[in-house]
Structure 1
């Protein structure tokens, strides 16, 4: 996938579909980021679907906010958000404009720019193994160099620094299961999709319900 080779991008109609159609179809596609330090490309091996205002696990479940506004934009936009006070995560917006929906990019294989991705991911003297470079949504963003400034990028625009190429879909059986870290009503939904046998797929972790602290003596909780 050299720079001299012409590669087709996914078009807007690809994303202008229900999230449950788009999510498995993204497996095997390639996300490319041409940043100031160079190019990194990741072949997607694991994703999760989030179905907007009807999905309790979605950021849009309670409606539009300043944080999730990109999810309501044209299909094909990149929705980047900050989580746990330390990590960026990247989504691709689906469904018609004005209707929220997105697919979280959970993991992939770095297929171009391995040295740059390794430098970004390595802390200390021991380099990160290739299978671990983009294994998990936060690691994927670090490897690609995706940060909040890229929220709202148009992944179907050839002039955009962040794009999604056609890649080679269907390169392995697609498996499904519950989403990672989603609790409550959205927990049992089997909307995580991954390519069977891929070593870059992240480990499944069920959500741990938050326990409410007991009230201090003499205190009455509202």
Structure 2
């Protein structure tokens, strides 16, 4: 496995989101390597995107979204589910990509169809917030062989409060993959 470099994450958020499909999320903990293939993501484009957490400005919770890129933004929803994002674009933009679903590759117990479920299966908690994704224990990598994939574009899930932004086609998933959270 070859880890993605910092340069991968500095790019446009939509490009990074689509390019993350098929990559491997790796979390090494307690001498176990948990690996999942990224099959579904959502792009959050910065402070002007009313569905993005960064639209509320820089807070203690959102400051990691503003950079540097290539870090994990991990937050808790409903007081019980962790969600993981990948910070993108140059510092100051507040952009990130939510990882929505994984196809299990190694040592992934449980369901990985949904952002909270995949974090539970991967053992990802707020302790990984702001963690550099080029580290040795938590990173994203190229698979040994890359399959050609078709990418489906849909509106993001659960952002009805965001006005017109709720209808933007910023959710991407691998066509025909059985581990996508919703069609």
Q: Specify whether residues 193 and 177 from structure 1 end up closer, same or farther in structure 2 by C-alpha distance, changes over 3 A only.
A: same
Is the 1:55–1:61 Cα contact (8 Å) retained in structure 2?
yes
Runs of 4 or more consecutive aligned structure 1 residues displaced over 6 Å after TM superposition: none
- Cα deviation for residue 170 of structure 1 reads 5.3
- Cα deviation for residue 27 of structure 1 reads 0.2
Is the 1:27–1:170 Cα contact (8 Å) retained in structure 2?
no
- Which residue of 2 is the match for residue 129 of structure 1? none
- Which residue of 2 is the match for residue 138 of structure 1? 116
TM-score calculated relative to the size of structure 2: 0.94
Match of 1:149 among 103, 123, 127: 127
Do residues 87 (structure 1) and 99 (structure 2) align? no
- Which residue of 2 is the match for residue 65 of structure 1? 59
- Cα deviation for residue 37 of structure 1 reads 5.8
Aligned residue for 2:3, secondary structure, equals coil
Q: List gaps (5 residues or longer) in structure 1.
A: 1-6, 122-132, 205-222
Aligned residue for 1:52, secondary structure, equals coil
- Which residue of 1 is the match for residue 141 of structure 2? 165
Is the 1:45–1:108 Cα contact (8 Å) retained in structure 2?
yes
Do residues 203 (structure 1) and 169 (structure 2) align? no
- Cα deviation for residue 154 of structure 1 reads 0.6
Give the whole-Å Cα distance in 2 for the aligned partners of 1:102 and 1:169: 24
Q: Specify whether residues 41 and 181 from structure 1 end up closer, same or farther in structure 2 by C-alpha distance, changes over 3 A only.
A: same
CA displacement, residues 70-129 of structure 1 (integer Å, 9 cap, x when unaligned)? 11121110000000111000000000122211000000111011xxx32xx3xxxxxxxx
Match of 1:22 among 13, 16, 19: 16
Higher RCO by CA contacts (8 Å cutoff, separation 6 or greater): 2
In the comparison of the two structures, how many residue pairs are matched? 180
Structure number with bigger Rg: 1
Aligned residue for 1:187, secondary structure, equals helix
Give the whole-Å Cα distance in 2 for the aligned partners of 1:192 and 1:37: 33
Q: List gaps (5 residues or longer) in structure 2.
A: none
Aligned residue for 1:139, secondary structure, equals helix
Q: Specify whether residues 15 and 91 from structure 1 end up closer, same or farther in structure 2 by C-alpha distance, changes over 3 A only.
A: same
Is the 1:23–1:103 Cα contact (8 Å) retained in structure 2?
yes
